[in-house]
Amino acid sequence: MIDASDSTSTRPYLIRALYEWCTDNGFTPFVAVLVDDTVRVPNEYVKDGEIVLNISFDATSSLKLGNDFIEFKGRFGGVARDILVPVNRVLAIYARENGQGMAFPMLAATETHPVHVASTDTKPTVLSSVARSPDSSDPELPRPPVGGKPSLTRIK
């Protein structure tokens, strides 16, 4: 019998499922990432230790949604950059157009090893709406939401 503590995290599977749902419905998938030294993103776009990335087909090339990392090439200010995000640093994935998606709990600082994502995920939060700036149509660089951080509504 397999013990739940021996299984892999559900986070990468949920990220892939919501990415597919966004693309199937014509929505733009965004991921919110908690940045630390294991995350490779342009630091000039990090605000308050977080970055929001557009991971749509139009905004990325060579996108790989793996079990351990999200990898792609993206353009920031017209400059192509290699992006590497450990899956355990993803705070949320949601559709830019309507804010629907899912937020994930962050692991304790001692549990955030970038290669092995343990099955310590607690119940994810389903997002019903995220306030977005009306001028956030630039596929290269997601705009911060109006009034600071997105507002999330928990649905049980």
Tens-place pLDDT, residues 103-145: 998 865 434 443 333 333 445 555 544 433 333 334 444 444 4
Give the domain ranges of the chain. Answer: 4-155
Question: Are the beta carbons of 54 and 142 closer than 8 angstroms?
Answer: yes
Average pLDDT value for residue range 46-52: 96
Question: Can you name the CATH fold of 4-155?
Answer: SH3 type barrels. (2.30.30)
User: pTM to 2 decimals?
Assistant: 0.69
Closest among 73, 79, 58 to 138, alpha carbons compared: 58
- The pLDDT assigned to 103 comes to 95
Q: Does pLDDT of 46 surpass 60?
A: yes
Output 155 or 98, whichever has higher pLDDT. Answer: 98
